[in-house]
Structure 1
Amino acid sequence: MADSTTVFDLIRHGEPEGGPMYRGSKDDPLSDAGWQQMRDAITEADRWDAIVTSPMLRCVHFARELADRYQIPLHSDERLREINFGDWEGRTADEVMASDGERLSRFWADPVNNTPPGGEPVTDFNKRIIGSWHHWQQELASQNVLIVCHGGVIRMVVADVMNIPLEHAFSGLTTPYACRSRIQVDTSGYGRFQSLVAHGAFKALHP
């Protein structure tokens, strides 16, 4: 096994058109405010060798802009789509709480055993996200990589890195719009080691 250090910056998309809601697979583009949030989260000190993005409009449009600016490869991965919230999609948290509050509370307390009505099971969601995460660790080893994705995706990746039980992966981490996370993956003959370097609205850090 070749020794390598790979640094991943994950960034959640900015505010989409329509504002905050359980959006999931609802494919809205970024609002003007969302574009500004994303651009504000990037600094002149940032350096990446490649960008990986969710194909959803609120991610891929900004990822393409950055890839063109830096003249680096852009990879779109269907597995990085947000979790499907089923019947809750297109509704605000207050609307869901008013009509389905008990089930919503159970979901946040234990999403593994409380799938939203008509939604994607968290175990299935986790499987496809971690499959993507491990794939890009191998495919882009030794590079600095930006992943443009969703709040749920970041939660799954951080849970994998920090060994957080899946039951607590949603409630245990906040992921506001344009939130960034940095993860370092070191691979050697002794194995693969993942570490969370930073999370939140932080300025660029040098690997």
Structure 2
Amino acid sequence: MMAESTTVFDLIRHGEPEGGPMYRGSRDDPLSTTGWQQMRAAITEADHWDAIVSSPMRRCVHFARELADRYQIHLHTDERLREINFGEWEGRTAEEVMASDGERLSRFWADPVGNSPPGGETTADFNRRVVESWHHWQQELAGTKILIVCHGGVIRMIVADTMNIPLEHAFSGLTTPYACRSRIQVNISDHGRFQSLVAHGRFDAIRT
């Protein structure tokens, strides 16, 4: 007989990094002053977690460490939760990439599986490592409430796995603005494992 458990994950994307919006990927920029304000504003007095899991990148882990110290809970970092590597597009704005490499950028958004960023990570490899991490923490922290501090692309991969969204549509099918929050509930019972997206971007729906 399988042990039953309910695990609740809150996901939050990092705030604005120094340098503003761009294809940042593996660039390890810290949060800007605005980014810190966005992150702190996204947390409410009603929030409580048993643990925090974070991408090791500075725009995520610095805020995750602040929260872990505030709540006196354990902070785990996971390399698998890094953002996708955008290769030659990193450090450039969407407008700059569109002006110089618009055709390839359009193909990427239309079919990210078949069209990787030049010199970057394939969507399949990115998805594989994120989902591996996602399933690991479901088992490791089963029955608890967890905050994951990560990136827009990572949230897209997790939501796609949760909702069985084809990988071809995982990037274009979900918006993830700075400090956007999501809640996913994972139930394990004799009937199997069920994942459900409870809320995305609606703060009034995820404060309880």
Q: If the TM-score is normalised by the length of the shorter chain, which range does it land in?
A: over 0.9
Q: Give the Cα–Cα distance (whole angstroms) in 1 for the partners of residues 23 and 146 of structure 2.
A: 28
- Residue 44 of structure 2 is matched in structure 1 by 43
Q: Give the Cα–Cα distance (whole angstroms) in 1 for the partners of residues 71 and 169 of structure 2.
A: 37
Q: CA deviation at 1:202?
A: 1.2
| Sequence identity percentage | 83
Deviation track 1:156-189 (CA, whole Å, cap 9, x = no partner) reads 0000000000000000000000000000000001
CA RMSD of aligned residues (A): 0.6
1:52-131 matches, cutoff 5 A: 52-131=53-132
Alignment coverage as a number of residue pairs: 206
Deviation track 1:18-45 (CA, whole Å, cap 9, x = no partner) reads 0000000000000000000000000000
Q: Give the Cα–Cα distance (whole angstroms) in 1 for the partners of residues 111 and 58 of structure 2.
A: 29
- Residue 150 of structure 2 is matched in structure 1 by 149
Aligned-partner residue type, residue 57 of structure 2: M
- Residue 174 of structure 2 is matched in structure 1 by 173
Consecutive unaligned residues of structure 2, counting only runs of 5 or more, are none
1:15 equivalenced with 2:16 (yes/no): yes
Verify the 8 A CA contact 2:14 2:60 in the aligned structure 1.
yes
Report SS of the residue matched to 2:200: strand
Consecutive unaligned residues of structure 1, counting only runs of 5 or more, are none
Aligned-partner residue type, residue 207 of structure 2: L
- Residue 205 of structure 1 is matched in structure 2 by 207
Verify the 8 A CA contact 2:44 2:207 in the aligned structure 1.
no
Runs of 4 or more, structure 1, over 3 Å off, are none
Report SS of the residue matched to 1:195: strand
TM-score, normalising length: structure 2:
0.98
TM-score, normalising length: structure 1:
0.99
Report SS of the residue matched to 1:192: strand
